[in-house]
């Protein structure tokens, strides 16, 4: 309450906490190759909170209840689908959204409403999508309902929920001490495990290259595992499986990309200057080509229900088809016309894998 009232001492402490938190977050986001155009935390909207609550009271959307300001059901929905209703022993009771507590303090529901109002009035936003744990579903149902009553429903408001990360015991992932693991620690574990694999199997020469490759593979493995499952599904955090060169993993896809590029490096100056027309004869060639031409169809489907796993699964199909093609159809030893056609398939495969993984925020190495 003191902080929201502008108390200087509390503001000073708060600002130091903000600076430290932001520096830590930027470090983690940098490793994940995530960038933001705007950093507007909850405090940015503090000056809007009182006016927003007054507006809610003034137009009858909210009312006083036991000293707090609350939004109740507008009674336009069946109780089964009304986020402001809850079933109890005597039937259906009220489950209001509190926008100002009895001590005068605000909460994240108030801030979320102020954020929506700002994005509507200042940014003229067409869409606002929240990627948040599925356990917050009720909060967002209430938030979007109140936004509609405030005439903020011109925006496409969506809660893109996701499931839970589990340990090998099938329970929500925790550290040995029973605490929730920190993302930075999970990334460090993945990079360290990737470093062991790189030291054992990689063909890169210098220590710096091995270190960079371990960072790339480790981060990619975590990202891909998160995105390769349906977003609402729970999944097990298993580093050994994540980093496997065989299976539904980022290293498997990255290895397919490296193989598709290595064939061109072997040719050196003898490589054709332009891609040759593709001529398909073998079953493996036909299957790979059919998958490659589907790339432009697959990408738009991701947004139908915000499912990057559709793209991830498609890329795995491409990689499997490429490995089958690569084993069954000699490239460099084939006669010139066939060789050049198969080189084109290799090049097109590398483009699709690189572009597709790039859309998932995953980089590809040139050597592994």
In this structure, of 200-209, 266-275, 293-302, the range with the lowest mean pLDDT score is: 266-275
Give pLDDT tens digits for 319-345: 999 999 999 999 888 888 898 999 999
Query: What mean pLDDT comes out for the span 94-99?
Result: 98
Structure confidence at residue 144 as a pLDDT band (50, 70, 90): very high
Based on the domain organization, do 32 and 44 belong to the same domain?
no
Structure confidence at residue 203 as a pLDDT band (50, 70, 90): confident
- pTM of the predicted model over 0.85: yes
Based on the domain organization, do 203 and 228 belong to the same domain?
yes
On the question of pLDDT at 6 being above 80, the answer is no
Q: Give residue 172's pLDDT.
A: 87
DSSP assignments along 292-314, one per residue:
HTTHHHHHHHGGGTT-HHHHHHH
In this structure, of 74-88, 163-177, 310-324, 334-348, the range with the lowest mean pLDDT score is: 163-177
Based on the domain organization, do 219 and 334 belong to the same domain?
yes
Based on the domain organization, do 114 and 92 belong to the same domain?
yes
User: For the chain, how many helices (H) and strands (E)?
Assistant: 12, 9
What is the rounded distance in angstroms from the CA atom of residue 138 to the CA atom of residue 82? 10
What is the rounded distance in angstroms from the CA atom of residue 278 to the CA atom of residue 292? 12
Structure confidence at residue 273 as a pLDDT band (50, 70, 90): confident
Q: Measuring CA to CA, which residue among 73, 62, 136, 72 is closest to residue 100?
A: 62
Query: What mean pLDDT comes out for the span 212-238?
Result: 94
On the question of pLDDT at 317 being above 90, the answer is yes
Query: What mean pLDDT comes out for the span 72-80?
Result: 96
Q: Give residue 169's pLDDT.
A: 87
Based on the domain organization, do 202 and 286 belong to the same domain?
yes
Does 331 reside within a domain? yes
Domain limits at 155?
40-162
Based on the domain organization, do 66 and 147 belong to the same domain?
yes
CATH of residue 126's domain is: 3.40.50.620
Question: CA-CA distances (angstroms) from residue 342 to 148, 264, 284, 328?
Answer: 56, 11, 11, 12
Structure confidence at residue 200 as a pLDDT band (50, 70, 90): confident
Based on the domain organization, do 196 and 129 belong to the same domain?
no
Instruction: Single out the residue in 162, 191, 208 at which a domain terminates.
Output: 162
Based on the domain organization, do 31 and 69 belong to the same domain?
no
Does 168 reside within a domain? no
Based on the domain organization, do 244 and 350 belong to the same domain?
yes
Does 71 reside within a domain? yes
Based on the domain organization, do 63 and 150 belong to the same domain?
yes
Does 364 reside within a domain? no
Based on the domain organization, do 329 and 208 belong to the same domain?
yes
Does 167 reside within a domain? no
CATH of residue 195's domain is: 1.10.730.10
The total number of structural domains that make up the chain: 3
Cα 135–Cα 27–Cα 201 angle in degrees, nearest 5: 95
Q: Give residue 69's pLDDT.
A: 98
Based on the domain organization, do 46 and 157 belong to the same domain?
yes
Query: What mean pLDDT comes out for the span 107-119?
Result: 96
Q: Give residue 176's pLDDT.
A: 75
On the question of pLDDT at 15 being above 90, the answer is no
Q: Give residue 270's pLDDT.
A: 74
Structure confidence at residue 111 as a pLDDT band (50, 70, 90): very high
Query: What mean pLDDT comes out for the span 53-61?
Result: 97
Does 174 reside within a domain? no
């Amino acid at each position: 309450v003191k902080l929201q009232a502008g108390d200087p001492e509390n503001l000073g402490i708060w600002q130091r906490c903000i600076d430290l938190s932001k520096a830590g977050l930027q470090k983690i986001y940098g490793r994940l190759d995530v960038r933001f155009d705007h950093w507007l935390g909850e405090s940015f909207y503090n000056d809007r909170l009182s006016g927003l609550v007054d507006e809610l009271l003034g137009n009858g959307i909210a009312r006083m209840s036991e000293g707090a300001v609350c939004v109740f059901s507008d009674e336009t929905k069946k109780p089964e689908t009304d986020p402001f209703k809850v079933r109890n022993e005597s039937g259906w009771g009220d489950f209001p959204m509190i926008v100002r507590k009895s001590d005068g303090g605000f909460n994240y529901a108030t801030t979320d409403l102020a954020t929506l109002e700002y994005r509507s009035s200042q940014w003229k936003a067409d869409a606002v999508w929240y990627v948040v744990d599925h356990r917050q579903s009720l909060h967002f149902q209430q938030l979007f309902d109140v936004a509609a009553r405030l005439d903020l429903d011109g925006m496409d408001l969506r809660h893109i929920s996701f499931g839970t990360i589990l340990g090998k015991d099938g329970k929500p992932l925790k550290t040995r001490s029973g605490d929730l693991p920190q993302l930075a620690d999970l990334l460090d574990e993945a990079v360290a495990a990737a470093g062991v694999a790189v030291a054992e199997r990689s063909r890169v020469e210098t220590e710096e290259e091995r270190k960079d490759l371990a960072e790339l593979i480790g981060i990619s493995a975590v990202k891909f595992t998160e995105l390769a499952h349906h977003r609402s599904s729970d999944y097990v955090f298993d580093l050994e499986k994540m980093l496997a060169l065989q299976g539904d993993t980022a290293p498997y896809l990255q290895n397919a990309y490296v193989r598709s590029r290595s064939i061109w490096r072997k040719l050196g100056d003898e490589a054709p200057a332009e891609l040759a027309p593709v001529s398909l004869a073998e079953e493996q060639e036909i299957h790979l080509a059919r998958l490659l031409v589907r790339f432009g169809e697959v990408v738009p489907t991701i947004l139908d229900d915000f499912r990057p796993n559709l793209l991830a699964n498609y890329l795995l199909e491409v990689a499997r088809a490429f490995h089958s093609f690569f084993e069954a159809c000699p490239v460099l030893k084939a006669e010139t016309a066939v060789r050049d056609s198969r080189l084109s398939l290799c090049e097109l495969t590398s483009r699709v894998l690189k572009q597709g993984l790039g859309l998932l925020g995953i980089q590809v190495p040139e050597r592994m």
